[in-house]
């Protein structure tokens, strides 16, 4: 079975979830089937960083995580266990930022959900089925 339909379905679920939950920011999702990277672009106002902007990476159905969260190439969080959370508002300033979540989850048949929640912001990405975690959020703070 090809991973491409699964990846596309996951991305569409995230986009639809954002629409249903009243998400007011722009989301552009791109899937690259060869490497299973999920990428979203998000525009933020700097005033939104006065409140917490939570990035939560959670293993679903007993999945456990190993990996790291990087912002502009610098590790800001090491992933271990089934649930990890970091407040991004402490790290972001005006400009463009690339946030990557990379690593592994086990069992490989499990799944991982990544949520970004803040004031008027709710974005979700989910991956499953291969044990690899390779998510990217492109953040523009104005």
Domain ranges of the chain: 3-141
Q: d(Cα 119, Cα 102) in Å, to the nearest integer? A: 26
HSE-up of 32 (CA within 13 Å, CB side)? 9
User: What confidence tens digit (pLDDT) does each residue in 52-101 have?
Assistant: 999 999 999 889 999 999 999 999 999 999 999 999 999 999 999 999 99
**In this predicted structure, what is the pLDDT of residue 87?**
97
For residue 83, the cross-strand partners are: 58
Token pair for 59: 């293993």
CA angle 131–38–62, rounded 5-degree value: 35
């Amino acid at each position: 079975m090809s991973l491409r339909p699964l990846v596309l379905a996951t991305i569409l679920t995230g986009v639809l979830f954002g629409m249903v939950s009243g998400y007011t920011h722009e989301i552009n999702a791109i899937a690259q089937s060869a490497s299973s990277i999920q990428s979203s672009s998000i525009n933020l106002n700097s005033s939104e960083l006065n409140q917490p902007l939570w990035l939560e990476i959670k293993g679903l159905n007993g999945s456990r995580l190993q990996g790291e969260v990087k912002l502009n190439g610098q590790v800001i969080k090491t992933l271990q266990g089934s649930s990890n959370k970091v407040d991004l508002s402490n790290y972001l300033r005006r400009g463009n930022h690339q946030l990557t979540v990379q690593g592994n989850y086990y069992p490989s048949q499990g799944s991982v959900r990544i949520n970004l929640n803040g004031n008027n912001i709710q974005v979700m990405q989910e991956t499953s089925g291969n044990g690899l975690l390779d998510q990217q959020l492109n953040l523009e703070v104005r």
